[in-house]
Every structure is written in C-alpha cells, then in structure tokens.
Amino acid sequence: MNDSGTSLPADSWFGDLRFPIDVRIPSDVRFIEPIVGAVVKRCVEHSIPSKACRLNVPVALTEAISNAILRGNHEDTSKAVRIRVTIDDRDLILEVEDEGAGFDLGACLVDPGGDGNRFREDGRGLFLMCSLMDRVEQVPEHANIVRLTLHRA
C-alpha cells in the first residue's frame, strides 16, 4: 500500500481480462498504464489494426481515464473509474465513467493550432481523443461517461 492507502498496480492485475471488459480502478494515475496495456493486448488478439493498437487506442483510452481520474474524481482514491470495453464486427467501444458531475464535451474541445494554444501545457487531451477515434460522445443522461468508438473497417 502507498501513503494514500491504494495498492500499487501489478502487471498481472489485469492479465485475465477478456472482452467484454468491465473493470473499476481507483483514481490513481499509476493504474492507467496497466489497464490500457491489458485492453490493447485484447485488441491485438481481436485483430484490431496494428496502428490503432499502437497509437489510437492507447492514447485515446489513456486520455479518457486520465480525465476521469484528474478532473472527474479529482484524484480522490476513494472514488473509482469504471472502464467498459466491447467489441463486435463493426466497432470497438470504450466507455470510461467517473464519479464526478460530468462536463460539457463541446466546451472543452480546444484547437491546439489556435492562437496561443500551441504554447499551452494542457488542453490537448480531448482533441487527441477526437482525432484518434471515429466518434467521441457522452452517454445520454450520463455526462460523467465518455464513449469512444473506433470502427473496425
């Protein structure tokens, strides 16, 4: 256990995950890389294109979980982030849910090429999600759930 009382993630923690994935992690950024790695591993096994497995899925999912931990749950380790992943013939769907009040997805989207934005240290996460996935949306009536969709074809 660390100072916050959260057990440190081990590489083997998420090794048994299979689609459909439905898992909760504490609001601790150290859990991001292991869960993202486990999801990507399953994507590889399901023949998701290699570039998507190297870039689109890990970066977009990392951003979504990071937002949930840092902004949704404010790193309160008593709060969880729920990650659901489903796959069918057409789509890979990633859903990330926090315990916060939700946010205005449209209002948070920043153009990194806009005036002065190039020198900003933050604000690129949602842009990257939208750039790397085919669809980014909030689940209706649940502003604290972001859904990322990647078409398989």
Binding residues for another protein (CB under 8 A):
29-30, 32-33, 51, 54-55, 58-59, 62-63, 66, 70, 112-113, 118-125, 127-128, 131-132
Output the smallest distance, CB 59 to another protein, in A.
Answer: 5
Instruction: Name the residue nearer to another protein (CB basis): 55 or 88.
Output: 55
Output the smallest distance, CB 65 to another protein, in A.
Answer: 9
Instruction: Name the residue nearer to another protein (CB basis): 20 or 50.
Output: 50
Q: Crossing angle, helix 32-45 and helix 57-67, to 10 degrees? A: 150
DSSP 88-111: -SSEEEEEEE-SS----HHHH---
Are the beta carbons of 128 and 59 closer than 8 angstroms?
yes
> Could you tell me which residues come within 8 angstroms of residue 30 by beta carbon, excluding any fewer than 6 positions away?
8, 9
Instruction: Name the residue nearer to another protein (CB basis): 55 or 139.
Output: 55
Examine residue 9 and say whether the peptide bond preceding it is cis (omega within 30 degrees of 0). Answer: no
Instruction: Name the residue nearer to another protein (CB basis): 84 or 124.
Output: 124
Instruction: Name the residue nearer to another protein (CB basis): 35 or 80.
Output: 35
Output the smallest distance, CB 77 to another protein, in A.
Answer: 14
> Could you tell me which residues come within 8 angstroms of residue 69 by beta carbon, excluding any fewer than 6 positions away?
27, 28, 29, 32, 75, 81, 98
Output the smallest distance, CB 141 to another protein, in A.
Answer: 27
Rounded distance between C-alpha atoms, residue 124 and residue 114, angstroms: 12
Output the smallest distance, CB 93 to another protein, in A.
Answer: 20
